[in-house]
Amino acid sequence: MNPNIHTISFPGRLAMSDDEFFEFCQANRQLDFERDKYGNIIIMSPNSSLNSRRHSILQNSLFQWNEDNQGKGVVFDASAGFTLPDTSVRSPDVAWVVKEKWNKLTNKEKSAFAPIVPEFIMEVMSPSDTLKDLQDKMGHWIENGVQLGWLIDPENEKAYIYTSEGITRIAESFDTQLDGAPMLPGFTFDLSLLRDQ
């Protein structure tokens, strides 16, 4: 269990509604929160500067690909929360949602934790994360409908590629590129860009 992640459990009758949880998060912006499917609140410590930089590199690469492809989707950073079909609220480090699906949401839905499942997400391990915790989280994403996910482990220079079948490939070195096809045709990412510099 990750000592930097804490969970607060609520008896069923005290669990927060979607609106209450959103208001709670807005009132405590100095912390990062998620909610599991049982209504428990997950409190996470702020990200390190190094990992924040890695998120930015990944996000910028995905954003540029999206722009080059007529903006077929919408790119989100680590501060975006999504309400998933099992009622959990999760925040990936980087996410991509098909634009047509995003445009079907109301402004109210977009202004809270949008009830939508990203097609593609990326998670980056920090030194305080455990591989098991993040693999469980990736499995949760896939179970809720994410079609492609990358779990990147900079310390060990590995990347785990997830599809609906679970882990379908492991990149054993950062001397390689990840390929987003067929979900994101033409999107590739050079993992060496995430090495400490």
- In which element (H, E) is residue 109 found? helix 107-110
Q: Would you state the pLDDT for residue 112? A: 95
Has residue 95 got a pLDDT over 90?
yes
The answer, yes or no, to whether residue 179 has pLDDT greater than 90, is: yes
CA dist 150 and 152 (Å) reads: 6
Please determine, for residue 1, whether its predicted confidence score (pLDDT) is greater than 50. no
Res 3: pLDDT: 46
Distance separating the N- and C-terminal Cα atoms of the chain: 30
The CATH classification number of 48-194 equals 3.90.1570.10
Please provide the average confidence, as pLDDT, over all residues in the chain.
Answer: 90
In this model, does residue 54 exceed pLDDT 80?
Answer: yes
Q: What average pLDDT does range 133-138 have in this prediction?
A: 92
Report the distance separating Cα 63 and Cα 193, nearest Å.
16
Domain boundaries, the chain: 48-194
The answer on pLDDT for 11 being more than 80 is no
**Please, which pLDDT band fits residue 147 given cuts at 50, 70 and 90?**
very high
Q: Which residues pair with 44 in a beta bridge?
A: 5, 32
Mean pLDDT of 51-63: 92
pTM (2 decimals)? Answer: 0.90
| Distance of alpha carbon 191 from the chain centroid | 18
Range of lowest pLDDT (4-13, 98-107, 113-122, 127-136) = 4-13
88-102: average pLDDT: 96
